[in-house]
Amino acid sequence: MKAIVSFVVPVLFATAIAEPGPLTMRRNADGPWELVRDGKPFFIRGAGGHQSLDVLVESGGNSIRTWGIDALSAKVDGKPLVERARELDITIAAGLWVAHERHGFNYSDPAQLEKQRKEIRAAVAKWKHEPAIGYWGLGNEMEGPTADGKDDRIWKELEVLAKIVKEEDPSRLVMTVIAGAARPKIEGVKNHCPSIDILGVNAYASAAVAGKAVKEAGWNKPFVLTEFGPSGHWEVAKTSWGAPIEPTSREKAAKYFSTQQIATEDSAGLFVGSYAFLWGQKQECTATWYGMFLKSGEKLPSVDAMARAWTGKWPANRCPRVEKFNCDAKGRAVKPGENVAIVLEVADPDGDKVELQWSIAAESTDRKEGGDAERAPEEKKLAMVSTGENSWSFKAPDARGDYRLFLIVRDGRGAASAENIPFQVR
């Protein structure tokens, strides 16, 4: 019989009725790591965000990831997130925000360091008895999303913070999250942060091979893919004027599915689960690039893809499918007021009647780093003229500039697809 190395923690009791305790981790002496919940293996089928949790559970998900401590008390379906998570039996990777230097924090300033340490300690002390918290997520890309990872001040301070978390709550594992699987970052955590139990990696175009990179860099504890989704707007082809070309809904769905499958099958013994990004909606480069839902609440094909990856089955109601979306203006310049032709083919897997919504917006100019909040450009409804079966046209704006044409296809039953193309008027 193979030896078992276990990290055992006590089960928490929120009431007289026992509830599942925090996650623990264990491995065979020469085998893979696994997480354990309530005495049973627990593989993370998770998503980043805390909206539409009923859809997450229906899709086969079992965990969510948050970034800051305030999210635990955010109202979800009219209740605090932790209460709703308990009802749905969802674990939370509870984020403890660790400051970034690009936001003005100085890791050489003792006063700032001490203030952050007290805030982390207070947050853990406040929430450590909450049964829905599976483990702590200490920091998100605090080394800087574009940094080389060689600043040891940050890793050494991270260890100080990890020790504080474990002093306050010895029952839970602690994860930290880095941007990408660059060797210097992984080595920074490995060499300076022995109190970190789980390494989280945010990755997009390279997400499927992040586990291999983590192992090759010498990490030998559990690994979680903490953000993955479509290729990032910094990783795709651009127009001649520098506008990123967003993947189609179908391309995104395929990327989510393939990443989950490859990461799971090629785990290298370290992989214990993942969090798809983003289970909600946000403005980042565009209003539709990373969100798996529309702002109006409809799910997008990426949700269906994760349901298939998690359960092996498609959901009962699937998103409409954009089979073809060709536009004369895609990636090029047109004249002011020019008529632009479109060929569109849409199919709904369930035979639902679909509704098309067209809009236009100026190209976003409020670009930030690392997912920081961006201001969304104003979208205006666009009048379309049908010119035949599956063919349409619209009039380009009179004002010169950079634009995006947006298309939303809804089935009227909570499912949709979203497409956009960049074009220029000059």
Summarised one tens digit per residue, pLDDT across range 344-393 is 999 999 999 999 999 999 999 988 877 888 899 999 999 999 999 999 99
Are the C-beta atoms of residues 111 and 119 closer than 8 Å to each other? no
| β-pairing verdict for 416-425 and 4-7 | unpaired
Enumerate residues 6+ apart whose C-beta is below 8 A from 140: 67, 95, 97, 98, 177, 202, 226
352 or 12, which is more confident: 352
pLDDT at 15 over 80: no
Segment 20-36 shows an average pLDDT of: 88
CA distance 202 to 58: 25
**What's the predicted TM-score (pTM) here?**
0.93
For residue 265, the model assigns a pLDDT of 85
297 pLDDT more than 80: yes
Q: Per-residue confidence at 9, pLDDT binned at 50, 70, 90?
A: very low
CB-count burial class (<10 Å; 0-12, 13-18, 19+) for 178: buried
Domains in the chain (CATH in brackets) are 4-311 (3.20.20.80), 321-425 (2.60.40.10)
CA–CA separation, 423 and 414 (whole Å): 30
**Band of the pLDDT at 12, cuts 50, 70, 90?**
very low
Mean pLDDT of 199-225: 95
* DSSP per position, 15-79: SSS------EEEEETTS-EEEEETTEEE-EEEEES-S-HHHHHHTT--EEE-SSGGGGGSEETTE
Percentage of residues in the chain with pLDDT exceeding 70? 95
Cα(423)–Cα(426) distance, integer angstroms: 10
Asked if pLDDT for residue 11 goes beyond 70, the answer is no
Confidence band, pLDDT 50/70/90 cuts, at residue 20: low
Name the residue among 139, 135, 202 with its Cα closest to residue 176: 139
Stretch 105-130: mean pLDDT: 98
The encoded tokens of residue 27 equal 């491995």
Q: How many CB atoms within 10 Å of residue 214?
A: 26
* Lowest mean pLDDT across 28-42, 155-169, 234-248, 388-402: 28-42
pLDDT at residue number 368: 82
- Which residues in 312-338 are b (16+ Cβ under 10 Å) and which e? eeebeebbbbbeebebebbbebbeeee
Does the pLDDT of residue 267 top 90, yes or no?
no
Task: Assess whether pLDDT exceeds 60 at residue 17.
Answer: no
- Mean pLDDT of the residues in the chain: 93
Helix and strand element counts for the chain (H, E): 8, 23
**Cis bond before residue 35 (omega within 30° of 0):** no
Among residues 162, 165, 174, 163, the alpha carbon closest in space to that of 126 is found at 165
Q: Which pLDDT value is given to residue 19?
A: 60
Extract the tokens encoding 240.
């001649």
Mean pLDDT of 49-72: 97
Q: What is the mean pLDDT of residues 53-62?
A: 98
Confidence at residue 2, expressed as pLDDT on a 0 to 100 scale: 33
pLDDT at 54: 97
Residue 410 three-state SS:
strand
- 73 secondary structure, DSSP code: G
Phi, psi (5° rounding) for residue 184?
-60, -35
Measured in whole angstroms, the distance separating CA 359 from the mean position of its chain's CA atoms is 26
